[in-house]
Amino acid sequence: MLNFEYYNPVNLVFGRGQIAKLSKLIPQNAKVLMVYGGGSIFKNGVHEQVASALEKHTVVEFKGVEPNPRYETLMKAVKVVKEENIDFVLAVGGGSVIDGVKFISAAANFEGDATEILRKRLRIEDNALPFGTVLTLPATGSEMNSGSVVTIEATQEKLPFGGPALFPQFSICDPSVVASLPVRQVQNGVVDAFTHVLEQYITYPHDAILQDRIAEGILQTLVEVGPKVAENPSDYTLAANFMWSCTMALNGLIQKGVPTDWATHMIGHELTALYEIDHARTLAIIAPNLYRVMFDTKKEKLAQYGQRVWGINADTIEEGAAMAIEKTVQFFHAMGMDTKLSGYTPEYEKTADFIVNRFEERGWKALGERQNITPDKVKAIVELSY
């Protein structure tokens, strides 16, 4: 097992009716900026619950954080923070809103060009504005980690950053909110979480036995509840297990002591930046083809995944690994995903060259757990996804 440190200070407040605890979780004298996306929190009653809980606080609202939050929009919120002397930021939404608030928190006291936070992937270790979250869409796990991804619209770049100062002080997770979500968003959440686990699990054999078993348990749970919760999001038991699986998929626990990949995400981010394809759907496009191109170095873990998660009993490692990839594709299809880029845009033929050029410009020439996903491999992965 690799050496590791595990630090996660997030106070996770889970279950029905927990939004009412906001009044005690945020300091009474804090001036709060409530940040959210569109109007869904008004339709599902979450805004009313938050407003009621914070009736004794001074609250300023900022609306309009997009899916795949834009740097340009978030800088408007940073301006509000400074003009209104905000003490605390509250994200009310899904992963995009929470990621956006992490950037607001980092940029509020940042001196200089805030795009450097993204382009230089600065590690934010201090001087961040305190914030908390009310989760309305399970998917990214951003409610219990210190990472974020933000899009610079002007250059069509979707870039990750993070740091220990960007853990939420608390996150309220009420599974009841799942009942009001559109089917597409539930499907996206299941596949997003599923792929988060795969990125930390399908690498190469190692001796972190417990991490493997926890990862497999999350995957098995998502396989069991994913299609059901998409069909019946008002089932609280299904919603609760779905929400908790999304959080556990990316709160740092299963990645400790193990090699991790994340190349699927790095390539997928480019598809979102270029074509506005939902994040989870880019992962469903890229992941199976990355496993096909990198088959020789991933086949042992693919076979283990196939046996433990899908119950595949094959005669050879190669056969088991290949069957595991196909089972994954079938699951993505069952969750409403198109696994081909051509299903989303007719202008896909130059995508591989564009992404490879962009990666080379950034110096991203060695991705993956073995640093063996080179530009030629990226090109092959994307072209196989057409």
The pair phi, psi for residue 122, each rounded to 5°, is -65, 140
Q: What is the CATH number of domain 183-384?
A: 1.20.1090.10
As annotated, the residues of the chain forming the CATH 3.40.50.1970 domain(s) are: 11-176
**Residue 35 · residue 90 · CB < 8 Å:** yes
| Residue pair 210/4 in contact by the 8 Å Cβ criterion | no
How many degrees, rounded to 5, is the angle at CA 138 between CA 136 and CA 143? Answer: 80
What beta strand segments (E) does the chain contain?
11-14, 31-36, 58-63, 88-93, 131-135, 147-152, 157-162, 170-173
Stated length of the chain: 386
Q: What is the pLDDT along the chain (386 residues), one digit of tens a residue?
A: 999 999 999 999 999 999 999 999 999 999 999 999 988 999 999 999 999 999 999 999 999 999 999 999 999 999 999 999 999 999 999 999 999 999 999 999 999 999 999 999 999 999 999 999 999 999 999 999 999 999 999 999 999 999 999 999 999 999 999 999 999 999 999 999 999 999 999 999 999 999 999 999 999 999 999 999 999 999 999 999 999 999 999 999 999 999 999 999 999 999 999 999 999 999 999 999 999 999 999 999 999 999 999 999 999 999 999 999 999 999 999 999 999 999 999 989 999 999 999 999 999 999 999 999 999 999 999 999 99
pTM of full prediction above 0.85: yes
* CATH placement of domain 11-176: 3.40.50.1970
Q: Identify the bridge partners of residue 158 per DSSP, sorted by sequence position.
A: 151
Residue 4, Cβ neighbours under 10 Å: how many?
Answer: 12
Looking at residue 154, the DSSP 8-state letter turns out to be G
CA distance 75 to 142: 20
For CATH 1.20.1090.10, the residue range(s) in the chain are 183-384
Lookup: tokens for 376: 């030629």
Beta bridge partners of 249: none
Closest by CA to 42, choosing from 138, 180, 172, 178, is: 180
Closest CA to 263 of 351, 355, 342: 355
